């Protein structure tokens, strides 16, 4: 189903699992970032439902965020992070698109 992403511009792909407590902590943070940065495309992928995408993007830990700028992966963020840290990491990685 979700094996295609629009990689034009700035993109964040979040890999999560339903039973993951860190993923549950991250969910409202990601939602707030989506609201704050409407020009960034956010995709949420349930790793349990899409193991082919986990393999394709070589995700080894959950939660993981993959950051892309114009189709090129520029950063990977692994694990739960506080809002202000995650915001800084995303803006730093995607600043030059």
Q: What is the dihedral of CA 88, 74, 41, 8, to 10 degrees?
A: 140
**Catalytic residue list contains 23:** yes
Packing angle of the helix pair 83-94, 21-36 (nearest 10 deg): 60
From the list 20, 27, 74, 80, the catalytic residue is 20
**Catalytic residue list contains 88:** no
From the list 11, 23, 54, 77, the catalytic residue is 23
20: nearest Cα among 47, 41, 38, 43: 47
- Residues annotated catalytic, as ranges: 20, 23
């Amino acid at each position: 189903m979700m094996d295609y992403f629009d990689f034009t511009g700035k993109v964040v792909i979040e890999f999560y699992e339903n039973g993951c407590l860190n993923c549950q902590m991250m969910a409202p943070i990601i939602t707030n970032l989506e609201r704050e940065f409407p020009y960034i495309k956010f995709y949420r992928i349930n790793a349990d439902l899409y193991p082919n995408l986990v393999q394709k993007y070589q995700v080894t830990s959950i939660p993981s965020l993959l950051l892309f700028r114009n189709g090129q992966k520029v950063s990977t963020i692994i694990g739960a992070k506080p809002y202000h840290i995650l915001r800084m990491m995303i803006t730093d990685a995607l600043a030059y698109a």
